Every structure is written in C-alpha cells, then in structure tokens.
Amino acid sequence: MPLADFPELTLSHSAMSVLEAAEKAGRLHLAGSVEELVALATPDKSLGLGEVGPDGRYVVGYDVNGEFQREAEVYKIKNGVAANYFEAYMRRRDPECMVVGDDTVTDKPTYQDRFNKDFADLREETLEWLRDQPIAAFFFRTGLPDKPLNAVAIAPANAGFFALGLAMLQGIVPLEEVRAAGADYSHEAVVYIAPPFRHTHFDGKQVVVHNRRFEEDGFNLHELFAYNLYPGPSAKKGVYGMLLTLGERDEQPWTTAHCSTVEVVTPYENATVIMHEGASGGGKSEMLEHMHRESDGTLLLGTNTITGDTRKLTMPRGCDLRPVTDDMALCHSALQDQDGPNQKLSLIDAENAWFVRVNHIEQYGIDPQLERLTIDPPGPLLFLNIDAQPGATALIWEHKMDAPGEPCPNPRVVVPRKYVPDVVSKPVTVDIRSFGVRCPPCTKENPTYGILGLFHVLPPSLAWLWRLVAPRGHGNPSIVDQGGMQSEGVGSFWPFATGRKVDQANILLDQIMQTASTQFVLIPNQHVGCWKVGFAPQWVTREYLARRGATPFNTADLKASRCPLLGYNKETIQVEGQTIGAWFLDVALQPEVGEAAYDAGAKILTDFFHQQVKDFLVDDLRPLGREIIQACLDGATAEEYAGLGG
C-alpha cells in the first residue's frame, strides 16, 4: 500500500522522510500483518535483499567500512522462523546498553556523558543511513486498549526477522485501520533500527538510545534508536521504557510492572491470582509453567550439594494454570476497581506475545505443554538461539552453542499470547504478589546470601524495599553477566526506565501502600541454603498458597526470620498431606549451613541493601519512603517493618 493512500497520516518529519525516501527508490515494504513480515524475514531473491543459500539460509549483514559484517542467519522452518546470531555476545541483553539522548531530567547515563558528544549528530547520521536503505515499516500500539501509545517501527528491510519479533511482541496495526482513521491516527513513538552503527560507533557493543522530545505542553514524541539486532534491549525492553515514561508523566502516575501473572485454580475449583516479579532470570516465565516432574511423576524438591541426598514430593494433581502476563503488566490507575487504602492491585498484560526463555528445557518431556505448543503451533513462531535446520521443526531443547560444549544460556521463542491455552485477556485482581531471587548455594565453608527459605511473607514496607533493590542474583541466564550480586533496581524495571529513580520509587510506594490487601511473599530459586532446587520453590509455593487461598497470614502462623530483611517464614508446611520440614523454610537449621554461616550470609545481604537504599534518600522521596529506608539502615526488626505504613 503506497504512502499516497494515507494523505492525512501524521508522522514526525524525520520518520516520514525515511519512508518517503524508500518509497521513491521503490524499496519501501510497508507491512500491515505479521504474515507479511514472516515473508520479509526469509526473503526470496525477487526482493533483492541479499543472497539466499541453496538450503534456504539467509544471512543478515551490512557493509562496515568496506567489509561485509555478518549479524545473523535466518531461515524458514516448519513452525515459523529461526534466527541465530554469529556472535555469542549478541545472544543476550547487555545490561549497560541503554543511554538517554535528550537533555530532559534523568538518572540514567546520557549519550553526552558516555560518549562525550551530543546525540543530535548521530541521530541525523542514522536517519541519513536509513534514507538510503530498503525499509521495512509498520504501525503498532502498546498500553491500555482504550488509551494506547501509537508508534511506528522503521528498520532496514533485510532485518525482517527483527521487525517480525517487534510486531509479534507489541502487535501490528492493519494498514486499512490506519487509513480509515485518517488525521485521527498519529504516533507518539518511533523505533529506528540501524545495526551497523554497533560496529562503526560503539566498538561492537549493544547500544539503545532513548530520545524523548518534549514540547511545552507535555509529551510529544519518544524516539528509540536501536543499534543492534537482538530484540531484548529494544523491541522488548525499549518499548517497556516508553511505557514507563508514559506512566511517569500521567496526571495520576502509574507503572508497568516487570512480572508474570497467573490465575491458579486448585483441584477444588478455588482461584487465586499470583503476580511474580523479579529481575531478569528471577522466574517470571517459570511461574506460568506446570511443575517439571521426574520420570516417576514426582517433583524433585531439591538435591543436597554436599551429601547428594534428594527430597521429592508426590503430588498426583497440580493446579490448573490460566496465564495472564509473562513479563510486563500495566498497573494503570484506571484498572483499579476500588477506592481508598487496603484494596488489591489490578493489572492487564502489556504485551501481544511472550519472549519465553527455554534454557532450562534441556531435553524432551520437561515441559510437555510448552513443547507441544512450540512444535505444532497455530501459527508461526520466532525462535532465537535455537539450533534448528532450514525446513525442519525447531525443538526448544536444542540450544545454539556459544562454544563447544557450552550451550547458549538464553534460547528464546516468541509466542503470541493468543496461542497460549487458557490465557486470560481481561484485567485481573492480584491476591498474592511474589518476588523472585536467584540464590547461590550457602554452606559453612562458603557463606553467601543464599539464605532464603522456601518462601517468606513480607509486610508492605519490606516488599517495597525488595523492589527498590531488586537483586539480580546468581547465574543470570538472560543478560551478559557481570558476576556477583547486582541490583536491577526500582521494581526490577529500572534498566529500562528513562527518568529518575525517585519518581519510580514514589510510584511503587504509593501503589503498594494503596493495595495493601494484596499479600507479599519472597521466593528464591536455584538454591535454598545447600540444596539445589531450580524453580521448585516457586512451584511448591504456588501450589501451597493457591490451596490455602487469599486469606492473610496471621502472626500465629509465622515466625520472624532470623534475617529481618526476610520478614517472616513458616516453620513447616503441608502440601497435599506431605510435610516440608524446617530445613527448607529456615536455612539456619540446615546442618551444612548453621547459624554462623547464615549470619554471614545475612550480613552480605544487609550490607548490599544498605548500599543500595542510600541512593534513594533524596529530597523528592515520600516521607514514608524515607522512614522505611531509615528503618532499614537502623536494623529494624520484622515487627517494626510491619508497623510502617499500616
């Protein structure tokens, strides 16, 4: 459909100049459906976008200083499109990729500070390069259905697989709808993709520049310049940043939570909604998965890393799962169905498809539901870092190798949410709000912060502190790991936000205190003390809390944890008649750990919290927030935390 068919279309001058240049040269691919982008992702020779190998492999690459720089190879497969990057570095998100290109207030690194120059010159150089390329473009929207953020994506046409991923994740607006809207359709955001600049300007590193263009009357246009072809920093987290910026500037500020959400239905038909937040690798996708059972049908609770002993649970029937969100949830004030304090949080999915990590699926049979869905999907999927073959069926347990014997830790598949069985598409009210932490093993010989028990119950003030600090934790598979304990910060979405930490901290504090009837819990994964547990704590806690229902815990049910930052814990629990003992709920009781190693780990955790929360003691922080942080620095008890903000 030519641009002449959209005579009233309102686009920024820069975006329109790129589209018009491509159309004038006869190389504009304006797409209105995912199917068109599937075809563009694996083009035939007639499109003139590069050579296609005899087996169907299409290499995406660009001229860099006179040499052809290969970025990825893409090919059609029976269940969609497979794309693999030639560099192992490009298979995960670089946590330092984001900079801000404008001079609006921000706590993030700016382009000026990082590169010692103004972004305006590179912006114009990027647009000039795009004006000389075959272009793939489409319209998408994100945000609330009745109040969306309209956007346009502009990419080099040979990067069709990237455009496909963005269109699947965020949705694509049919061109007929744009044309029918006429002057009423205008965009507030634009995504520009310019892959070769990674090599010519940034020493091969992933860089994403947010350029917020504000006018005197408020928000005008949010530009995002993505200088790489991995969707994580831009097509997904970049758009996430747009939503966070939009929420900050609303008359009644709101946020987009970094979480999965699931409605859990027990065998007795009781339903409980659990929202699970956490830094990358914190178990968000796993909260939507059915328990991974052993060959005998049991659930492996854990393996002792010292003795080799195992603990298993027999659960004849797990709960039914109705997924709501996988990674991003709009917590807009318009969704709340109650007024005043002590209500529960309500949310809706912010995405059109889910970016599912499958590194833990190492062989057939681990997750039959997801395996079945991805092997024979209702429509095409996009596979990244999966070792598929052209024309064959991609299998999610066959991961691309970063090096001989080293599988990529971040294999992904993009699954449209409409393909997910029993998916919930309406707003839901949250009963339990959990936070996931990747924990290393903790032993007497090697004390660490891996002192979290199976789950802990947090008062709202502590729940807010955990979201300020948001530990990224042990062995993160989703990003380029910096080693040690890192903070993902402010709700675990700070790496994607463009403004100030204090503004997001205040939004979260208001939200938590106004929805205090939602219960807060803390759940580890990977290790509980010396026990290797994977994601079993999430699945067991989910089954237990769903069976227990949304009834609040009372003080008689709990004891204060030895480390006050962990709130409270149960001494034992029963799941389907089986008792899980104190070793899994209080790590200090494990013989391989003991109180001294536990206390050493608690000090590591406490020192880390103190280091992180001090950054929020600024003038614009809410008085209650300052009181909570000071209580943390003063070594408050769990009971004292419970008395704050009540």
Four-residue CA torsion sign, 629, 608, 458, 343: positive
CA distance 395 to 445: 40
Q: What is the pLDDT of residue 8?
A: 85
d(CA 189, CA 151): 4
Split at pLDDT 50, 70, 90, the class of 630 is very high
pLDDT exceeds 90 at position 170: yes
Does residue 589 surpass a pLDDT of 60?
Answer: yes
pLDDT band at 216 (very low <50, low <70, confident <90, very high): very low
Q: Which of 225, 227, 206, 224 is nearest to 480 (CA)?
A: 206
pLDDT above 80 (res 214): no
Q: Is the pLDDT of residue 480 over 70?
A: no
* Domains, the chain, ordered by start: 3-248 (3.40.449), 278-318+430-642 (3.90.228)
Question: What sign for the dihedral angle of Cα 612, 441, 397, 73?
Answer: positive
pLDDT tens track for 508-547: 999 999 998 999 999 999 999 999 999 999 999 999 999 9
194: which residues sit within 8 A by CB, 6+ positions away?
126, 129, 130, 156, 225, 226, 227
What percentage of the chain reaches a pLDDT higher than 70? 96
Q: Are 157 and 193 in contact (CB under 8 A)?
A: no
Cα–Cα distance between 298 and 570 in angstroms, integer?
23
pLDDT bracket for residue 217 (50, 70, 90):
very low
